[in-house]
Amino acid sequence: MSEQQREVLDQIMRNGPLDIGGDPEEQRAIFEQMLTARPLPDDVQITPGELGEVLTLTIEIEGQNSQAVLLWFHGGWYVMGSPRTSAGLSSDVARRTGTRVVSVDYRLAPEHRYPAALEDALSVYRALLASGVDSQSVAFVGESAGGGLAAALLASLSENGLPQPACAVLFSPWTDLTLSGASMTTKVGIDPAFVPEKVSVRATDYVGSSDPADPSISPVFADLTGLPPLLIQAGSHEILLDDSTRLAAKAAADDVSVILDVTPKVPHMFQAFAAMVEEGDSALSRVATFLRSHLGEIYNAS
């Protein structure tokens, strides 16, 4: 990525209207407007649905016929966001891999605190398998809070008697709601969008009276033994950097096949800007390669 591209993205994020520590209803509307302002390509088909009594959005590319499913968990600090706000990114990954996306509209905090989101994620995966989808044709994909949710779901599957999916991709996952990672301090000011004080507001919204160090809330503290191959991507200019690096280290220590992919000098969720920054496009190409290699030949990639 050129220095000019980095500077433009940095300014967009520094000057954006979103205040993640602000009133949830107001910020949800701003977040939705920001991430849905650009129309999706005409060949992207979106179908609302329900699995396990949880609302979902199926996202497909016209002309692609695949058995492989990306079970997708959107970002938004557990308080904002929806499958529609992540549809730009999820449809891009679907196009690159020839897969279809089932995006989970999990309940949001503070109205629905932990464990609501995890319960919804588990219900959707259980219902997806019950519908006849093979676990080895499923990959979990999560962004930010959704990445942490995906990791927590993976760590819970064994105790719930469910098989692991083929693999998982975690974009800048929020995996430590105790906010104890060193980058929460060292990246302040370098991160163009987020500061720990406002992240803490959202963590409290989700955690409520529970222990933020509970592994089901902060999977960086979980036993990750038995998890499928992981690809964890992050940017070096984000306060959540240590949430990715520490999760990768824990996974490696627990004998999980893991790839930690850190792109220098880019912010949180830079992949969502793949149309304007080269590094985002390159990162998604690596995601597509990873998904293809672990989902195998069960789909017809475009």
Label residue 296 left, alpha or beta by phi (over 0 means left) and psi (-120 to 50 means alpha): left
Contact 228, 166 (CB under 8 A): yes
CA–CA dist 175, 242 (Å, integer): 9
CA–CA dist 223, 60 (Å, integer): 34
CA–CA dist 302, 297 (Å, integer): 12
DSSP at 20:
T
DSSP annotation string for 57-88: EEEEETT--BS-EEEEE--STTTS--TTTTHH
Q: Which of 82, 238, 244, 279 is catalytic?
A: 238
Contact 101, 94 (CB under 8 A): yes
Catalytic (active site) residue 257: no
Catalytic (active site) residue 86: no
What would the two tokens of residue 85 be? Answer: 């706000």
What would the two tokens of residue 62 be? Answer: 């016209």
DSSP annotation string for 265-296: T--TTGGGGTTT-HHHHHHHHHHHHHHHHHHT
Q: Which of 144, 156, 172, 244 is catalytic?
A: 144
What would the two tokens of residue 295 be? Answer: 């989902």
C-alpha torsion angle, residues 11, 16, 22, 28 (rounded to 10):
-140
What would the two tokens of residue 133 be? Answer: 């989808």
- List active site positions: 144, 238
